[in-house]
Chain A
Amino acid sequence: MKIAVTSGKGGTGKTTVSTGLFHVLTKYMKYNVQLLDCDVEEPDCHIFIKASETESFPVYLSVPEIVADKCTFCGKCKAVCAFNAIVMLPPIKFIEVSKELCHGCGACTYVCPEGAITEHNEEIGKITHYDYYTRDEFIEGRMSVGKALQTQVIRETIRHSEERSVVIFDSPPGTSCPVVATVSKADYVIMVTEPTPFGFHDLKLMAETVKQLGKRTGIVINKAGLDYKPLYDYIHTNKITILAEIPFKKELAEAYSNGRIIAESDNGMKTIFQGIIQKILNGQTN
């Protein structure tokens, strides 16, 4: 079972939920489990999961380079590039690939009739494996600062995962391509929200995305306490399962701020996280 933890809005508690579930699954429930940090722009799971690093692998993008001497300025590479990454000024014999825009697809290299394009690997991120309670339980994807191809780093991170009874993906915020790259590989989607207008607005966007992808889903309401009626009405009308409500407590906020796992803060919390897993694995959700 692959479970993606998502939110739409950032900061609602994706990492709190994914690290909490992971920790409870491995430590107390003795499951064969793996946690993947797919929020490669801002990977934060490692702050809570104090694990030992075992191996790391660079993620490369194959970036083209045009040898101006061989180039005849025919313009085929520029015409084929879907990302407008090729700057060409024939009168001054200037041609260059803009690295910021290049997606490394290889189309220019393929169409160049002169063999004037060579490619070299550029590091855009890193994937790190960690041991936690057992071997290779935590994998982090991390995009290099200044790079823009987060989706490619996410896909590579997911390729590093293996078949386990439960694999948890800590997803990036939002609803666009990086989120879809994560959610489309999952069997079940946990949507974490908070009872505020922003949390609710972004939850609706997320629910729509999950629906389009045809995934089973349930909600965790974090920082619960504020009786924000529109949220509860929406959940009720759309018959979405509430997997758990995590109350807002200053102690929890403080534990989180110091990098402690919320699920460990008291027995009540542990029970909440175990309950989420049981509901999902026993199919007690829509």
Chain B
Amino acid sequence: MDKPIEIVILSGKGGTGKTFVTSALASLAENAVFTDCDVDAADLHLVLTPDIYKTEDFASGSKAIIEQERCTLCGLCKDLCRYQAINFKNNQFEIDEFACEGCGLCAVACPAEAIRIVSYNNNKIYHATTRFGPMVYGKLGIAEENSGRLVSKIRQYAKELAMQKGADYIITDGPPGIGCPVISSVTGADLVIAVTEPTLSGWHDLERLLGLINGFKTPVKVIINKYDLNKQMADNIERNLEKSGVTVIGKIPYDESIVYALIEGKTIREYSPDSQLAKQFNVIWNQVKSSIYEPDSI
């Protein structure tokens, strides 16, 4: 194989079991590189317990700063700002740092040259090894923005690493939602595994996610987690997916041993290798592999 196959685990709704599924697949995929692109709240490292060999800073974005002594109070910056990030308070113009997008328009326009744009360097990228293979993951600085850019950088590193090591797969634990970090995670990926749960919210959010993925034309397979918490809804979801040509490759029961495995920092295969659940993931992984090599799928 010349190019590694990139598999991204997504869900739409949070808490459906992305990281659990990712870790289970990680224990089965031989010769793979792993990434965690849920940079807001990365959790995969809690199971894969990586040894970090390199940490680097990654610039997240920028914000405007007004030098009050130069400001002539003309108010042009406030008029131009489209994010309502500049307010007149205490007889001076102040930047609302949480609303500022760092676009720099105010700095360019300011006739007194009183506004500077400063960049923030609060994000981290970790290069690490795990018992299953190399891992690249990130951590967004608290309250930082531009997670999309951080995700792109992590995937770029993972690809380089996979090429260099001749890895067959890149397996990515993705972020929840359908916004910028998800778009960054799915752009150019080979396969999406969407993990859902049999709840109206899980279904609603999965539909929005499928709408997004459809725009990228990326093949997608679905896993229904905790399916027995509402079997009827799980069946409905499966039937509806089939109508739109999406295959469900696994229905996983609600099982407390998932949490106990997690507490010990183990994948389900390590925690209870002979369990039904562990065996089920063998089947799922085989289905993932065969779907990749279906000639019409990729």
B101 touches A105 (CB 8 A): yes
Dominant SS at the B interface? loop
Q: CB-CB < 8 A to A213: which residues of B? A: 143
Q: Which of B103, B179, B199, B204 sits near A103, CB closer than 8 Å?
A: B103
Q: Is B15 an interface residue (CB 8 A)?
A: yes
Mark the stretch among B65-73, B127-135, B205-213, B276-284 that contacts chain A. Answer: B205-213
A-chain residues with CB within 8 Å of residue B104 when the two chains form the complex: 80, 82, 105, 107
Also in contact, A41 and B178, with CB within 8 A (given A107-B108, A250-B229, A258-B200): yes
A145 at the interface (CB under 8 A from B): yes
With A9-B14, A41-B177, A41-B178 known to touch, is A184 a contact of B46 (CB < 8 Å)? no
| Inter-subunit contact A201/B46 (CB<8 Å) | yes
CB distance from A234 to the nearest CB of B (A): 15
| Minimum CB distance partner of A145 in chain B | B211
Which one of A133-141, A160-168, A202-210, A264-272 contacts B? Answer: A202-210
The verdict on B52 contacting chain A, using a C-beta distance below 8 Å, is no
Q: Is the CB of B230 within 8 A of A8?
A: no
CA distance A258 to B250 in the complex (A): 22
B182-216 contacts to A (CB < 8 Å): 182-183, 197-202, 204-205, 208, 211-212, 215
CB atoms of A42 and B142 under 8 A apart: no
Q: Per-position contact with B for A130-171: 1 when CB-CB < 8 Å, else 0?
A: 000000000000010111111110010000000000000000
Quote the shortest CB–CB distance from A247 to chain B (angstroms): 14
Is A73 at the interface (CB under 8 A from chain B)? no
A residues 15-53 touching B (CB-CB < 8 Å): 15, 41-42, 44, 47
**Considering the chains assembled together, what is the distance between the CA atoms of A104 and B11 in angstroms?**
29
Q: How large is the interface on A (under 10, 10 to 19, 20 to 34, 35 or more residues)?
A: 35 or more
Query: Which of A89-97, A175-183, A237-245, A276-284 sits within the interface?
Result: A175-183
**Is the CB of A228 closer than 8 A to any CB of chain B?**
yes
Q: How many A-B residue pairs have CB under 8 A?
A: 190
Contact with B along A37-77 (1 / 0, CB 8 A): 00001101001000000000000001000000000000000
**How many positions in chain B have a CB within 8 Å of any CB in the partner chain?**
63
**Contact present for A201 and B212 (CB under 8 Å):** no
Do A8 and B103 form a contact, CB below 8 Å, given A151-B145, A212-B143, A226-B259? no
Q: Is the CB of A175 within 8 A of B142?
A: yes
Cross-chain contact B103 with A173 (CB below 8 angstroms): no
Return 13 A-B CB contacts under 8 Å, by A number. A10-B15, A42-B12, A42-B201, A47-B201, A110-B109, A111-B108, A146-B211, A152-B83, A228-B263, A253-B226, A256-B201, A257-B198, A259-B200
Interface residues of B, Cβ cutoff 8 Å to A? 11-16, 19, 39-41, 43, 46, 62, 80, 82-84, 98-99, 101-105, 108-109, 117, 140, 142-148, 175-180, 182-183, 197-202, 204-205, 208, 211-212, 215, 226, 229-230, 233, 259, 262-263, 265
Residues of A within 8 A of B (CB): 7-12, 15, 41-42, 44, 47, 62, 80, 82-83, 100, 103-107, 110-111, 143, 145-152, 155, 172-181, 184, 196-198, 201-202, 205, 208-209, 212-213, 226, 228, 250, 253-254, 256-259
